[in-house]
Structure 1
Amino acid sequence: MLMHQLSDNELLLRIKKDDHSSFDLLFDRYWERLYKVAFARVADDHVAQDIVQELFIKLWERRHSMEIRLTLENYLLTAVRFSVISHFRSRNVNEVRLDDALQRVNLLESSINENEGYFELEKTLEEALSKMPGMLQKVYQLRSEDMGVKEIATELGVAEQTVKNYISEVLRRLRIAIVDKHPEKQVTYLAIISALFIKT
């Protein structure tokens, strides 16, 4: 089998065995999509590239300990959104335009250990999503790519109201998981979830 025909899971298994060529292939496979998601949020070419580059660096550094319950695609799309939020949190709130959810993340949890906090939340999201029906997982994935309700409806061939209902259900289930597992941080984590689902 040719390298480019390998599935994401097969590539991930090879990456965990320190296979650089598989990592390079994965990088090429997802770079453009992740860049577009980052750029849609930060509107800065260099910053978007830095965010995606750092994401892949962390992926390589954590290759031996990663546990991905859903698809690698969902994992990467969620991770890039977290990275964007982390970027905003690292800057002065008065210097960038932030939506309410991002401001709440800055103000409520400025002292949080970012890497630990996001890794913890990322794990909770994956566990919750893995228990959802396939359609809800698909809606989450498309929303993570900054697709709007109308675009998702067209992609899935359903009514826009149906998509809105799906999004509400995804959020409801994620909130339940967060409140259940992280009651002490639920305000901040729920704000992050809101930020992840806001389309600019």
Structure 2
Amino acid sequence: MTDYKIYDDQELVRLMRSGDERVLVEIYDRYWEKMLVVAFNRLGNLQEAEECVQDVLYKLWKLRDNLSLTKSELANYLARAVRNHTFNVLEERQRKRMRMSAYNHEEITDTLSPERQLIVQELQQQIDKAIKNLPPQCQLVFVLNKHEGLSAKEIANNLNLSENTVKSHLKKAKKDLGNNTELLTTVIFFHICLQQF
């Protein structure tokens, strides 16, 4: 029986292309813990981190025929793959929160008159549009702060950014939203309309 521990990463990748599933077991044994630490540091949830690592290893197996490691080692490839996948998990979390927020928002608007419901819905659409116009990472930082209530330090840890970078993104988001004259005009208009009903 072959001892896969003696092979380096490039040899493992070459053997994996032949469809030998025992190679994947060796990669799992070799890198599972490191990948899990990266995922957990970003997600802060052990179950999500484990699922993230499993997804990355599954994708590695699916892509084995096209995988080449001429410039980077397998460890670097896996670390990048986990990092990218955690962004997907965080974005999905954000989408779930926004869906829940919209659901709660609907419960509140159900108690309003039809006119006020329409005004609140229009305002929410303008706010969502303004947030979507932010640069992607700035948008993610803003939503994690405002919708999930995470502090700058927590966001920095989750996204592997410096705290100063997170604060810069938040400052830019507030400035861009504050300078959005279309949004400000809509807010003022709706505020006046709501007072009249």
Please give the TM-score of this superposition, normalised by the length of structure 2.
Answer: 0.49
**Structure (1 or 2) with the larger CA radius of gyration:** 2
Structure whose residues are more often helix by fraction = 2
How does the TM-score come out when normalised to structure 1?
A: 0.48
RCO comparison, higher one (Cα < 8 Å, 6+): 1
